[in-house]
């Protein structure tokens, strides 16, 4: 599925990919994005969906990098996790984009 970005998205920096089984220190639950937690993964301050953490460890490989996109950009969606999309942009970069900043594109 392809979507068009409707509002510029800056992201919060670039992160490494953390392997399944990596320890996660959960902090407070998100208030705007429910089912997400602020967390610390190997000294990186970021966010993680609650379903990605079981018994304090990642249940799958995880990269929290958000795509930096301009309004009008088209991205290919691979997965939807709560209100965020894992997508790849036209430069081949994969990351997260909030669904609220997208609309579906007919293929």
Contact 29, 10 (CB under 8 A): no
The model's pLDDT over 7-29, given as tens digits with 9 standing for 90+, comes to 999 988 899 999 999 999 999 99
Please tell me the total number of residues recorded for the chain in this structure: 107
CATH fold of the domain at 2-12+65-105: SH3 type barrels. (2.30.30)
Q: Where are the domains of the chain?
A: 2-12+65-105, 25-58
Helix, strand, coil abundance in the chain, percent, nearest 5: 5, 50, 45
If one counts every other C-beta atom within 10 angstroms of the C-beta of residue 71, the result is 11
Per residue in 33-83, pLDDT (tens digit) is: 889 999 999 999 999 999 999 999 999 999 999 999 999 999 999 999 999
Instruction: Provide the whole-model pTM.
Output: 0.92
């Amino acid at each position: 599925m392809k979507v068009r970005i409707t509002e510029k998205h800056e992201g919060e920096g670039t992160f490494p990919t953390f392997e399944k089984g990596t320890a996660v220190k959960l902090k407070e639950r998100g208030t705007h994005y429910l089912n997400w937690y602020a967390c610390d993964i190997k000294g990186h301050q970021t966010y993680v969906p609650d379903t990605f953490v079981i018994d304090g460890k990642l249940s799958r490989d995880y990269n929290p990098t958000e795509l930096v996109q301009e309004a009008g950009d088209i991205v290919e969606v691979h997965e939807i996790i709560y209100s965020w999309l894992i997508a790849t942009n036209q430069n081949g970069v994969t990351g997260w984009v909030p669904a609220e900043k997208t609309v579906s594109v007919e293929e």
